[in-house]
Amino acid sequence: MLQQVKKHIFFTFFLLFFLPGLYGEYNNKNDDQPPLADLDLITSPAGLLSEYVSIESVTGNEKEAGTFLAGVCKDMGLNVEIFTNAKDTFNFAASLYPLEMGKPNIILLNHIDVVPADEPHLWTHPPFSGKIVNDTLWGRGSIDNKSMAVMQLLGMKQFIDKSKTHDFPYNVTLLSVSGEETGGFTGSKVISEHYLDRLNPVVIYGEGGAGLQDVVPGTADQKLFGVSVAERRMLWLKLELNMETSGHGSVPPPSYAIQEMIDALDNVIWENNNRNVRFSNTTTEMFKELGKVQPGAMGVALRNIRVSKPIVVPFLKRDEILYSLVSNTVTVTGIKSEPGAPNQIPQKVTATLDCCLLPEFPAEDFLKKIRKWLANDNIEIKIINKRDKAKPSSVNKYFYVMSNAIKHTYDNAKVLPILFPASNDNNYYRSKNIPAYGIHPTYMNLELIETIHNVDERLPVNMLEKGIEVYAELIRQFLYEDFEKLN
């Protein structure tokens, strides 16, 4: 039964593998414009993505790739506005209408940065080649997240000329940001704190879900897609303990800094390994919707997850990924002492904790738990960084317009709201009360999923084209007022 549950829910969190900058002043003249790009690239989705992937843009080095993409947008006739323009924080918007018009704005969010491609000799094709072989495009960012930018941009393309002569009810903006892979501090954090009034967003569509083949046994005729409506959020902590003791390791004192820190961390690890399961409103709804497509007793259990909790929880606890989906977690990610000789007892020791909280759980309450678990008042707790608590996005018209676009593109598609188990940029906007939904609108198998943040990341060209179709249909519904007819 555990293996079934794992397979049922895996698609809701596979994007775990997807596991302070210069704030530019707004310039009304918008003189900071990118150069024009090669027009021939725009006519070929695969050619554009290949060129984009070939520009290495590991986090902190986004400017060259961002300038290229902004140039393509300008060449297509979009209104480009660069918000921050530095090597490590390049953020821009490309819109159907100038932002100064103040139209309600549909934001298509993507990130320019990618994770490093370590051990390039292990790749079938060089990681920044953008090589196309047998109708598949290879390279770092081919899935996460440069393909999404190309899908969004070319989905907008067919509406550019029409927008010059027609007053559509909404603006549509491609928003490309830096720094997502390391917390969004040079990208969406900057945008959400300084440029939301300028953008005037009514909804954000970013990353955070996808379609995965062979999810639920017995439903092979359906293609299941998960659109994230919430995410667990990060809380990074630094622990520090200072103790003045004798310094020579040959005569150990009864208690010293490293010993006390290890004892305290041992308590934290024990509590994490025995943590409580919490079915939030978001996870309950996710299991309920998944249960609707699962036949038999399993479907009944999933649809009534709180009632079946005594039966289901033991199985969830046997698998760390599933267990994390329904609980707050804390992981010890580092412990460090002052440098010294092997026989010298350090007087100071620090440790780092990576905490991941369910959407509804207050960070302040979790900090109290950490303090209690440490059981040592001499340990100082410092917050390195945290994501603000954000209300999950509602399953409403903004969700259904994306659902309809996916169903329009993929036959027999079923679209479910899901909880994303890690942090991404969407929560910056949810925390500002802007609905945000996460989806990479492709239908992938596990083999492709496993290449994300891994060797041989790649995407079949036909999936790129399907994604363009999804975004084009999404935009059409907004601009031609089908959106307004949704209940």
Q: What token pair was written down for 393?
A: 């996005």
Domain parsing of the chain, residue ranges:
32-207+440-485, 233-386
Give domain 233-386's CATH architecture. 2-Layer Sandwich (3.30)
DSSP assignments along 341-406, one per residue: -TTB--SEEEEEEEEEE-TTS-HHHHHHHHHHHHT-TTSEEEEEEEPPP-PPPPSSHHHHHHHHHH
**65 conformational bin, left if phi > 0, alpha if psi -120 to 50, beta if neither:** alpha
CB distance 171 to 104 below 8 Å: yes
CB distance 253 to 264 below 8 Å: no
Task: Indicate the angle between helix axes 2-9 and 309-317, nearest 10 degrees.
Answer: 80
pLDDT tens string, the chain, 487 residues long: the values are: 444 444 444 444 443 333 333 333 333 334 567 765 555 555 689 999 999 999 999 999 999 999 999 999 999 999 999 999 998 999 999 999 999 999 999 999 999 999 999 899 999 999 999 999 999 999 999 999 999 999 999 999 999 999 999 999 999 999 999 999 988 999 999 999 999 999 999 999 999 889 988 655 556 678 999 999 999 988 999 999 999 887 777 888 889 999 999 999 999 999 999 999 998 888 888 888 888 887 788 788 888 888 888 888 887 788 776 788 889 999 999 999 988 888 888 899 999 999 999 988 999 999 999 999 999 999 999 999 888 888 899 999 999 999 999 999 999 999 999 888 888 999 999 999 999 999 999 999 889 988 999 999 999 999 999 999 999 999 999 999 777 777 6
Whole-model pTM: value is 0.84
DSSP designation for 12:
G
CB distance 233 to 356 below 8 Å: yes
- Which residues does 308 contact at the CB level (< 8 Å), separation at least 6? 300, 301, 302
- Which residues does 454 contact at the CB level (< 8 Å), separation at least 6? 17
Task: Indicate the angle between helix axes 281-293 and 296-303, nearest 10 degrees.
Answer: 160
- Which residues does 236 contact at the CB level (< 8 Å), separation at least 6? 352, 353, 354, 355, 383, 384, 385, 386
DSSP assignments along 272-287, one per residue: HHTPPP---HHHHHHH
Unique residue bearing structure tokens 């038999």: 296
DSSP designation for 432:
T
Q: What count of other Cβ atoms lies within 10 Å of the Cβ of residue 151?
A: 27
Q: What integer pLDDT is reported at residue 16 of this predicted model? A: 35
Reported as a single tens digit per residue, the pLDDT across 255-295 is 999 999 999 999 999 999 999 999 888 888 888 888 888 77
3-state secondary structure of 137: strand
Query: What's the CATH fold of domain 32-207+440-485?
Result: Aminopeptidase (3.40.630)
Reported as a single tens digit per residue, the pLDDT across 349-406 is 999 999 999 988 999 999 999 999 999 999 999 999 888 888 899 999 999 999 999 9
